[in-house]
């Protein structure tokens, strides 16, 4: 059973459960960074433009946002809000920093050297204060620009591409000991792991991605972003067959919690003991919450 926290959101993603009981999230279609208060009322923190897609709190207390640059054509009707194609307003992918008190916006990265960042999607901070993020790449009318995984610092001065090519990498997270980096690929419905040999670098395996394949699904289920629990389990927002796909740390157990929305985009942990799952329902524009069997993994610079 779940409880609706709020509705009327414009394709929500990237939830962050804050210590005060509110949840900060992005509204991709409306291009807003929004706070959902404990009573369900919402406040727009900043209007970002483009397509804010993932968010995380950094060591300075600011919110770091993966902005995919927009470029999607959206349709909203009695069935919900969804992407129906490409538009001509793509403004370029970037990593942005938002001051939560003032709403002031700063762009940190648009390129990695000569490589343009295409469509940043999800982000996670390590204990050192650097961050990993995915770049989903772009699906163009007659071609696909492959995605990648990057590592960067909050001063805007250092960024490295660490895994490439990947097929629409989306969710990203670190194991409890931060020795493993997990990444989902969306349309393929695949979960990969990478060995972190030192902060910001990975030991590449002899695969196209440089990682190790963990698990996938054979049905029409796409993998979106995810949350980690204290036992190393991965809980993935799932599209088409909407719900949360849970994968144990050893990938031997894969279960699915169905939800009444076919575009379940993401999940985070909050509340007392981090036992409440906050889940974003993209199609119907809702934030819901439910008690989860395992506690969430505390996030650096937020829960620790």
Give the tens place of pLDDT for each residue, 143-167: 989 999 999 999 999 999 999 999 9
Give the confidence band of 251 by pLDDT, cuts at 50, 70, 90: very high
Domains of the chain (ranges, CATH numbers): 3-217 (2.120.10.30)
Give the tens place of pLDDT for each residue, 264-280: 999 999 999 999 999 99
Average pLDDT on 37-55 reads 97
pLDDT value for 284: 98
Check whether 304 has a pLDDT greater than 80: no
pLDDT value for 277: 98
Average pLDDT on 128-139 reads 96
Distance of CA 61 to the CA centre of its chain: 18
Percent of the chain clearing pLDDT 70 (strictly above): 100
pLDDT value for 140: 86
Sheet holding 12-17, edge to edge: 12-17, 23-27, 32-36, 42-47
Q: What is the DSSP string of 2-65?
A: -EEEE---SSEEEEEE-TTS-EEEEETTTTEEEEE-TTS-EEEEEE--S-EEEEEE-TTSPEEE
Whether this model's pTM surpasses 0.85: yes
User: What is residue 177's DSSP assignment?
Assistant: T
Distance of CA 106 to the CA centre of its chain: 20
Check whether 192 has a pLDDT greater than 90: yes
Average pLDDT on 127-144 reads 94
pLDDT value for 77: 93
Percent of the chain clearing pLDDT 90 (strictly above): 93
Give the tens place of pLDDT for each residue, 98-112: 999 999 999 999 999
Give the tens place of pLDDT for each residue, 200-219: 999 988 888 889 999 999 89
pLDDT value for 24: 98
Give the confidence band of 94 by pLDDT, cuts at 50, 70, 90: very high
Give the confidence band of 139 by pLDDT, cuts at 50, 70, 90: confident
* CB within 8 Å of 20: residues ≥ 6 apart: 38
Average pLDDT on 46-67 reads 98
Give the confidence band of 168 by pLDDT, cuts at 50, 70, 90: very high
* CB within 8 Å of 110: residues ≥ 6 apart: 92, 93, 94, 116, 117
pLDDT value for 135: 98
pLDDT value for 22: 98
Q: What is the DSSP string of 246-280?
A: EE-TTSS-EEEEE-S-SBEEEEEEESGGG-EEEEE
pLDDT value for 206: 84
Q: Which of 59, 48, 46, 47 is nearest to 94 (CA)?
A: 48
Torsion sign across C-alpha atoms 290, 291, 292, 294: positive
pLDDT value for 95: 98
Q: Tell me how far apart the alpha carbons of residues 206 and 53 are, in angstroms, rounded to a whole number.
A: 30
Q: Judging by DSSP bridges, how do beta strands 254-258 and 115-116 pair with one another?
A: unpaired
Sheet holding 120-125, edge to edge: 120-125, 131-135, 147-152, 159-166
């Amino acid at each position: 059973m779940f409880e609706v926290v709020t509705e009327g959101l414009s394709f929500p993603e990237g939830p962050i459960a804050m210590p005060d009981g509110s949840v900060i999230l992005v509204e991709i279609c409306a291009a807003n960074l929004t706070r959902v208060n404990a009573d369900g009322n919402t406040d727009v923190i900043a209007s970002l433009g483009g397509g804010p897609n993932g968010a995380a709190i950094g060591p300075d207390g600011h919110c770091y946002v993966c902005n995919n640059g927009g470029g999607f054509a959206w349709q909203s009707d009695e069935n919900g809000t969804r992407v129906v194609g490409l538009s001509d307003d793509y403004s370029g992918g970037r990593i942005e920093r938002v001051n939560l008190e003032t709403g002031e916006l700063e762009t940190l990265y648009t390129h990695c050297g000569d490589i343009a960042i295409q469509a940043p999607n999800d982000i996670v901070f390590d204990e050192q204060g650097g961050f990993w993020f995915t770049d989903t790449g772009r699906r163009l009318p007659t071609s696909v620009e492959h995605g990648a995984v990057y590592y960067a610092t909050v001063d805007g001065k250092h960024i490295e591409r660490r895994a490439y090519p990947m097929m629409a990498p989306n969710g990203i997270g670190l194991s409890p000991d931060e020795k493993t980096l997990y990444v989902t690929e969306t349309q393929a419905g695949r979960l990969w792991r990478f060995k972190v040999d030192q902060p910001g670098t990975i030991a590449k395996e002899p695969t196209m991605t440089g990682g190790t394949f963990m698990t996938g699904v054979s049905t029409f289920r796409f993998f979106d972003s995810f949350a980690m629990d204290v036992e190393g389990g991965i809980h993935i927002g799932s599209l088409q067959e909407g719900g949360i796909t849970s994968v144990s740390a050893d990938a031997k157990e894969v279960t699915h919690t169905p939800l009444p929305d076919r575009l379940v985009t993401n999940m985070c942990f909050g509340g007392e003991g981090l036992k409440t799952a906050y889940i974003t329902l993209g199609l119907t524009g809702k934030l819901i919450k439910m008690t989860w069997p395992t506690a969430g993994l505390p996030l650096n610079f937020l829960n620790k």
